[in-house]
Structure formats: structure tokens, C-alpha cells
Amino acid sequence: KAGVTQTPRYLIKTRGQQVTLSCSPISGHRSVSWYQQTPGQGLQFLFEYFSETQRNKGNFPGRFSGRQFSNSRSEMNVSTLELGDSALYLCASSLGQGSQEQYFGPGTRLTVT
């Protein structure tokens, strides 16, 4: 079974631009979560989607948004990029119940200059 895939793996953007990251979950998984990882803040929860509905959202500004498609693939978008948005963005998939194991993708490294 293929694991969680994320594209692109690396991105370099300039301040003010916007970016879209993509995540394809493990086949059969309906929940996709997004996390931001930085050296200073560690892993921070962005949002979680289940069957195309956002069920949870972390404490990030409205510039961070996401969506999930009917095939469970998910995208997150960051508009008006700031230097502080430079981070490793990770997505995780699971079956969707709280007791299920979470599987993470390799991440997208975003650098904002």
C-alpha cells in the first residue's frame, strides 16, 4: 500500500506570494490533517478534514486555508506569504476515528525569501 505523498517536496517563494501544497492520503483513509513544523515552535496543528469537511482548525491566521476533495486528497493554501511561514509542512492521514494510527508524509519544505 502506498504511503502518504506530498507535493512539491521543496518550494521557494517570495514574500507576498501565495502557495498551494498537496497531500494524497493512504488509500481508504478519509481524514487528512496538516501540521507546521518550525525549530522554534515545534509541530503545530493547522487543520483536519474528514470527508471534505473541516472538523478542526488550529490557531493560525486566515491566510492559511485548506480543502479536501471527494477522493480524500487535500490541499492547503497560504496567501500573502511572510518570512515566518518558512517551515516544514506535514500532512497526516488516518481512517478518521480518534483511536486510529496517524501516518505522516515526507513533508513540503517551504522557504520564503
Q: Which residues bind other proteins (CB under 8 A)?
A: 4, 6, 31, 33, 35, 42-43, 45, 48, 50, 55-56, 58, 88, 90, 92, 96, 98-99, 101-107, 109
What values do phi and psi take at 59, rounded to 5? -90, 70
Alpha helices (runs of H) in the chain, residue ranges in sequence order: none
Nearest-approach distance from CB 55 to other proteins, in angstroms: 7
Nearer to other proteins, 73 or 104 (CB): 104
Nearest-approach distance from CB 16 to other proteins, in angstroms: 26
Chain length of the chain: 113
Nearer to other proteins, 42 or 62 (CB): 42
Nearer to other proteins, 58 or 79 (CB): 58
- 3-state SS of 74-102 is EEEEECCCCHHHCEEEEEEEECCCCCCCC
